[in-house]
Amino acid sequence: MEHQITYTAINRQVAFKNTGQTLLDISIGNGIPHLHECGGNGVCTTCRVRVLDGIQNLSPKTAFEQSSCHARKWDPSIRLACQARPKGDVTIQRLIWSSGEVNNLQKELAPEGRAEERPIAIIFCDIRNFTNLSSHNLNFDIAYMLNKFYTALGEPILMNNGVIYQYVGDEIIGVFGTSGGTARKNCEDAIRAALGMQYALDTLNRTDLKDIQVKLKSGIGINFGTAFIGHLGHPTHKQFSVIGDPVNVASRIQDETKATQTNILVSETILENVDRETILTGRSFHSKLAGKDNPVHLHELLGFKNMDLQLELQASMNTMLEDEDQFAAIFYEKVFAEAPFVRALFRKNMTDQGRLLTHMLGGIVYSLSRPEHLKRGLARLGQNHVQYGVKAAYYPIIKKAMLETIDEVLGENKTPQTLQAWHTALDFVIDAMKSQAHPPAHPMQKEPVN
C-alpha cells in the first residue's frame, strides 16, 4: 500500500511504500534537496523538519534524536528526517534550506538567561568613510549597498564555522567558537574568514557596486580571548549575546586599521594560537588602544604563505555555482560523452539530479570547516553510490569531468591554484566516499584501475 509525504513549502507530494525508509531517504530518492551534513547519523540536526500533520505515523525518536531535541528544547513537532521513519501519510516542512543557515544553529546551544565562558575569536569589519557615503547617496541606495555588503561579507564568516553576531550600522561582527572548538581552530577560522571577506569585497566592487559607481573599502580587526556567551535580556526578548573584554578589544583593533592605514589587523593572541609559520604578516604596531592602559602588539594580516585549500574553494564557489543548473548540465554532458555506459545508472530527472549534486558540492565547501560531520556525510554518500551501481573505477571519470566543468564555468575568474584546490578537494571527497563503500582490497590484491 502506498502513502504520501507532503512537502508544504514546495507544494509537492511524493508516494512511498512502507519499506522502513527514513524521511531523508524519501527526499533524496525523489530528488528533493534536503540538507544532511552528517550523512544521516543524527548528530548535525541539519535535516530537521516540522511535522504539520501525521506525526503519529512516524517511528518513535531514536536515542540520537532524543538527545538533540532535549539539548535544543524543541517542541514535539520537530523531528530529524534522518531518524524518523514514516508508516503513513505525513506533511512536513524542511526547516534548514541552505548551508549558510547551518552555523546560526550554534546559537541554539548557548545557555538561556545566563552566560558561559568560551574561548572565541572575534572579527569586527566596517566600511571606511561610510558617513561620507551616506550623505552623498539616497537612503534607498544606501540600503542596497549595505545589504550587498552584509551578504557578501557575511558569507565567509558562515563558510568558516562562524556566527554572524550583529550588524551595527556599517559594521558586521563575526564570532568563531561559540559552540566549542580548539583555540587554534577558532583563530584559523577567523583568519580565513577575514581574508575571504577581503576577497568578497573586491568581487563586490568589481560587480554589483560598479554599476552604481561605488567602491567600498573595509577595515577588519581580529582578536581572541575568553568571552561570555548566552541568551540575555528581558524574558520576552532574549538575545544571543557575546560579552567580555576580548570583544571590546576586537572593536578597538578595527578602529586602529584607520590610523595604521591597514586592511586587516590581528592581535598577538591570534598569532600565538596558530602556526605562525603559515601566516603572511606585514607591518607590526605597538598600539595604545582606547580604554587600555598598556599598548598591545598588532600585526597586519596579508594572507597565507602557501595556497590555502579552503580559502581557494570558498573564493571560487559562488561564481562557480552562480547558475547551478547550467553547471550541472555542462558536467553531465561531459560525463555522458566520456562514458555513455553510466547514463543507464541515472533514473531521476537530470535537472533534479543536477540540483542534488550542486547542493552537495556547495555543502561540502561549507562543511570543510566541520570535518567531523563532513566525513560521515561523504561515507554515507559513498554507500548510496554502491546501491546506485557505481563502481570504484568510475570515480576518475567524474573527477575529470568535474575539473573540466569548473575550468570552463570559472573562465577568467580562476587561477592555477583554484584548479589545484578543486583537484585536491575532489580527491578528498572521493576517498571519503570510497572509504566505507569500497573497503580496500586485500593488500596482495590490486586496486581497481583508477
Contact flag: residue 234 with ligand HEM (CB under 6 A): no
Choose the contact partner of 45 out of ligand FES, ligand HEM, none; CB within 5 to 8 A by kind.
Answer: ligand FES
HEC per residue, 249-270: HHHHHHHHHHHHCCCEEEEHHH
Choose the contact partner of 42 out of ligand HEM, ligand FES, none; CB within 5 to 8 A by kind.
Answer: ligand FES
Choose the contact partner of 36 out of ligand FES, ligand HEM, none; CB within 5 to 8 A by kind.
Answer: ligand FES
What is the phi/psi pair of residue 408, to 5°? Answer: -70, -45
Nearest to 356 by CA among 336, 376, 385, 387: 385
Contact flag: residue 110 with ligand HEM (CB under 6 A): no
Chain positions 293 to 322 lying near ligand HEM, rule: CB under 6 A, are none
Closer Cβ to ligand HEM, 164 or 381, answer by number: 381
Q: Name the minimum Å distance from CB 207 to ligand FES.
A: 34
In this structure, what DSSP letter does residue 109 have?
A: G
Bridge partner residues of 125 (DSSP): 172, 220
Question: Which residues are near ligand FES by CB under 6 A?
Answer: 36-38, 40-47, 80, 82
Q: Name the minimum Å distance from CB 81 to ligand FES.
A: 6
In this structure, what DSSP letter does residue 439 have?
A: P
Contact flag: residue 78 with ligand HEM (CB under 6 A): no
HEC per residue, 127-154: ECCHHHHHHCCCHHHHHHHHHHHHHHHH
Contact flag: residue 38 with ligand HEM (CB under 6 A): no
* DSSP letters for 178-203: TT---HHHHHHHHHHHHHHHHHHHHH
The single residue among 187, 390, 425, 437 that binds ligand HEM, judged by CB under 6 A, is 390
Lookup: cell for 107: 546559537
Stretch that binds ligand HEM, among 45-53, 208-216, 311-319, 353-361 (CB under 6 A): 353-361
Angle formed by the axes of helices 309-320 and 416-437, nearest 10°: 100
Contact flag: residue 394 with ligand HEM (CB under 6 A): yes
Contact flag: residue 353 with ligand HEM (CB under 6 A): yes
The single residue among 32, 342, 374, 406 that binds ligand HEM, judged by CB under 6 A, is 342
Stretch that binds ligand HEM, among 16-24, 76-84, 102-110, 343-351 (CB under 6 A): 343-351
Contact flag: residue 360 with ligand HEM (CB under 6 A): yes
Contact flag: residue 430 with ligand HEM (CB under 6 A): yes
Positive or negative torsion for Cα 188, 193, 194, 198:
positive
Q: How far apart are CA 121 and CA 191, in angstroms?
A: 9
Q: How far apart are CA 124 and CA 117, in angstroms?
A: 20
Per CB under 6 A, residues contacting ligand HEM are 28, 342, 345-348, 353, 356-357, 360, 381, 384-385, 388, 390, 394-395, 398, 426, 429-430, 433
